[in-house]
Each structure stands twice: as structure tokens, then as C-alpha cells.
Amino acid sequence: MPLAVIAIGGNSLILDDAHQSVEDQYEAAGATTDHIASLVRAGWDVAISHGNGPQVGFILRRSELSAHELHEVPLDVCGADTQGALGYSLQQNLANDFREMGITKSVATIVTQVEVSKDDPAFASPSKPIGSFMSEADAMRRRDEDGWDVVEDAGRGWRRVVASPAPMRVVELDAVKLLLAAGVVVITVGGGGIPVIADENGNLSGAAAVIDKDLASALLASELGADLLIISTAVEKVALNFGTPEERWMDEFTVDEVKRYLAEGGHFKEGSMAPKMRAVVQFLESGGKQALITDPPSLERAMRRETGTWITA
């Protein structure tokens, strides 16, 4: 059967500030898995990835608030925690969907490590803000005592910043392949994967970094030889000049057109659509044939080419 890798945004599991609880996120996951189950019913094998930015932020905040009593949680362990919790939510919802649809499929979450290079330039210029705002005094203390990189954030306070290195290898790839070959729907590279670095003997250790979820999903799709990369986001289609009077919603692009628009700048916002489009380019230039960007409720119609934005090699 054809294989699709589906990347779900971590923010899509949090509808708004009033719906951030575990129960709210569980319901939001169910609203997404219903559409993925329809894709499986249509004959696709599926590997699912997901973001975890807000959820890691919650864990870090809890860790900060309880630091007077309990140990703090390292960033790589935060990633592992969110892979387990969000994976549980997605796999249970998806299994329930399968049962209701009469689909005989198992679902499994793999706590997944993704190797990065210790020489990645991102480690020399950490830029990804994480955790809560701090006073300057607290920021300097964490810098001196814990080796944190900290920056002042537009007059709002100080924050910790970490590197966002490029993903190189999905460590548990063979396990993912075995499960897919056995007909299991696999949830993997959650949050971009737990970033790990190999020493000279090949032994791995966690890194205080975050990996872009869409780039990791593109790498996973390439290493699996996926037929389709689907990036599930908050909009039904991709727009050129988003949020301007020249905004234009697009049905399709070629990879060369996407590269040109990225080079021109201004068409896709950083921190939003631009990283997704770079991930699509990475997948297509690594042998992928097609990618789709749409929101979860539109997935079935998008697969019939009725909506969504398709990008082809």
C-alpha cells in the first residue's frame, strides 16, 4: 500500500488559551485522528509525527515552579515525556476510530531519538526561545551556574535560548520500518525527535536542543521512501503574500517555484509557513514525489484534489 507521513502541529492540539488542559488536548487529538483514520480506510499506510512546542513549555514551567522541592527536568527528557503523553493520546484516539470504522489495525508510539551533529552551526548561535520569561538577575544566574544561553526578548524579559540543529538520522528507523511492514500505524519523531549526539564510539547522549518537527518529518519520509508527505496545519491552503492585500491562496506549486518564493522572501512567514515549505523542498529534493499542506478537516477533500496545496517534484 502507499505510505504517507503525516506531520501534526503541536499547536493544533491546543485550540486556544481556554482549552489547554490534558482533556482539551485529548479531544483536539481525536478531531485530527478521525481524518487520519479515513486515510487509512482509503488504503494508505501511515506514519505520524507531531509537534510539542507548547507541551514542552508546560513541562518546563511546572519544573521551574517546583524547583524549590523537586529536580528540574532536562530538555531532552521533556521531549521524551511529550512523545509518550501525546503519542498515548493520538494512539488511543486512532485505535478508537479504527474500531468504530471496522478497521483492523494496531497503533504504536515509538520514543524516537534523532541524531544531530555536535558541529552543527546552530550550537554556536542558539536562537530558539524556550521556557518562561526571567528577570535579568535570574537569567545571569542561570547563565553562570547552569551554562544556559539567555537573551533579552524585546523588553519583555529574559529567556533561555537553545540550538535548533538539523536532523541527520532517525535512530529508531529500523523499528519504524518493521512496525510499518507488519501493518502497524506508527507515531514517531514526536517534537522533531529527541536530539542526541554520538561520541567517537557511537554512544548517544541527549542534547539541550530542539529539532524542527517538519524537517524531521521530511527526513523520516525520505528514509522510509514515503509516497506522500502531509503537513497538517491551521490553514486549508498555502497563501502567497499571506496577510497582505496581495494574498493569494494556491492550489499547487512545483518545488522550483517554492524555492524561488523562499529565496524572494516575504511570501511565507518565518515561524509559520516558511519552515514547512523548506521541509517540503528537502523531501522532494531527496527523492520524494509529492507533498500536501492542509488542515485536518480538509484532509479527505484534499486527497481528492478538491482543496489543499499540493507541491510536486
End-to-end CA distance of the chain: 21
Amino acid at 129: P
Q: Is 11 a catalytic residue?
A: yes
Q: Which of 213, 237, 288, 308 is catalytic?
A: 213
Q: Which helix (H) or strand (E) holds 223?
A: helix 213-224
Q: Tell me what pLDDT residue 15 has.
A: 73
Say if residue 5's pLDDT is above 90. yes
Say if residue 133's pLDDT is above 90. no
Work out the average pLDDT over 280-294: 97
Q: SS3 for 244?
A: coil
Q: Which helix (H) or strand (E) holds 47?
A: strand 45-50
**How far is the C-alpha of 36 from the C-alpha of 31, rounded, in Å?**
10
Q: Is 10 a catalytic residue?
A: yes
* Cell numbers placing 304: 481528492
Q: Which of 52, 276, 288, 308 is catalytic?
A: 276
Task: Determine contact, residues 166/219, Cβ cutoff 8 Å.
Answer: no
Q: Tell me what pLDDT residue 265 has.
A: 84
Quick one: how far is CA 310 from the chain centroid? 19
**Band of the pLDDT at 2, cuts 50, 70, 90?**
very high
Q: Is 105 a catalytic residue?
A: no
**How far is the C-alpha of 148 from the C-alpha of 142, rounded, in Å?**
6
Say if residue 257's pLDDT is above 90. yes
**How far is the C-alpha of 182 from the C-alpha of 251, rounded, in Å?**
35
Say if residue 136's pLDDT is above 80. yes
Q: Tell me what pLDDT residue 291 has.
A: 98
Q: Is 276 a catalytic residue?
A: yes
Work out the average pLDDT over 242-265: 92
> Where do the domains of the chain lie, and which CATH numbers do they carry?
3-113+169-312 (3.40.1160.10)
Q: Which of 9, 10, 191, 288 is catalytic?
A: 10
Work out the average pLDDT over 17-25: 85
Q: Which of 30, 57, 128, 259 is catalytic?
A: 128
Total residue count of the chain as it appears in this document: 313
Percentage of the chain with pLDDT > 90?
A: 73
Q: Tell me what pLDDT residue 220 has.
A: 98
Nearest to 98 by CA among 49, 59, 41: 41
Q: Is 237 a catalytic residue?
A: no
**Band of the pLDDT at 284, cuts 50, 70, 90?**
very high
Task: Determine contact, residues 194/111, Cβ cutoff 8 Å.
Answer: yes
Task: Determine contact, residues 135/112, Cβ cutoff 8 Å.
Answer: no
Among 149-153, 222-226, 274-278, 300-304, the range scoring the smallest mean pLDDT is 149-153
Among 70-74, 211-215, 269-273, 283-287, the range scoring the smallest mean pLDDT is 269-273
Question: What radius of gyration do the chain's Cα atoms show?
Answer: 19
Residues in a beta bridge with 128: 162
* Cell numbers placing 21: 488542559
Q: Tell me what pLDDT residue 43 has.
A: 96
Say if residue 246's pLDDT is above 90. no
Q: Residues 98-131: pLDDT tens digits? A: 999 999 999 999 999 999 999 999 999 998 887 7
Say if residue 46's pLDDT is above 90. yes
Say if residue 154's pLDDT is above 80. no
Say if residue 175's pLDDT is above 90. yes
- What residue spans of the chain are helical by DSSP H? 22-41, 53-65, 75-101, 136-146, 173-181, 213-224, 255-264, 273-285, 299-303
- Pairing type for strands 113-115 and 128-134 reads unpaired
**How far is the C-alpha of 137 from the C-alpha of 65, rounded, in Å?**
17
Q: Tell me what pLDDT residue 129 has.
A: 81
Say if residue 156's pLDDT is above 90. no
Task: Determine contact, residues 130/160, Cβ cutoff 8 Å.
Answer: yes
